[in-house]
Copies of this chain bind each other. A is one copy, B any other.
């Protein structure tokens, strides 16, 4: 079994990784941690380095817990939601775990467009964690 964790690297609560750890353990699954960046002419190299750094920490988090983990930085010109859904399908993933934490200007919790796209388009169940 494979679990894909959509990881933004920033503003991600420990909860997301804890749930992924719990599921991986219960299902005997491996974890694919994925960060998606659109890329293109305006790609900021320092953002790439930060994302790579965050993914490295995540890999260590799972390896310390003896859970098999791959990390992927996707730069394929796609919006993050579409990118994650496509990658999940390509990799034959069984479950996608994502965070939902977007807030509107007035501080109300709202649906981010990435979460919405993933939930509606994924071929497999999607776990949302606040």
Contacts and interface: CB of A to CB of B under 8 A. Distances in A.
A30 B87 CA distance: 33
Interface string A13-33: 000000100000011000000
A127 B127 contact: yes
Given A27-B26, A100-B119, A120-B100, A19 B125 contact: yes
25 contacts: A19-B125, A26-B26, A26-B27, A100-B119, A100-B120, A109-B120, A109-B121, A110-B120, A111-B111, A111-B116, A111-B119, A111-B120, A115-B119, A119-B119, A119-B128, A120-B130, A122-B130, A125-B127, A125-B128, A125-B129, A126-B127, A126-B128, A127-B127, A127-B128, A128-B128
Copy tally for this chain in the complex stands at 2
